[in-house]
Amino acid sequence: MASEKLIQVSDSDFQQKVLDSDKPVLVDFWAEWCGPCRMLGPIIEQLADEYEDKVTVAKLDVDSAQQVAMRYGIRSIPTVMLFKDGEVQETLIGVRPKGDYARVLEAAAA
């Protein structure tokens, strides 16, 4: 079951929900057809629940939000980026252990 804390972002609302956010935002760039993306999904949902007070966690479907994916040079998915104050702070490519993402979120929330 998907976490209610997880938000979906698109080309049209990326600026408002991610770049203009007053909290750090972790964005999971993914696609429905991507097997590794589906493997990462439950980890992203857990992070959304665990860090809801400190960080916003978002998913962006690269097939439907191609402008944002191109702007950030997404070449392979899953790619997870942490945005803070409208800037990319960290980029993690591929499926990584949950601790890698948690470490990035801890640093951002500090």
Residue numbers annotated as active site: 34, 37
Handedness of CA 68, 72, 75, 79 (dihedral sign): negative
- Terminal Cα distance for the chain, rounded: 29
Handedness of CA 2, 71, 77, 88 (dihedral sign): negative
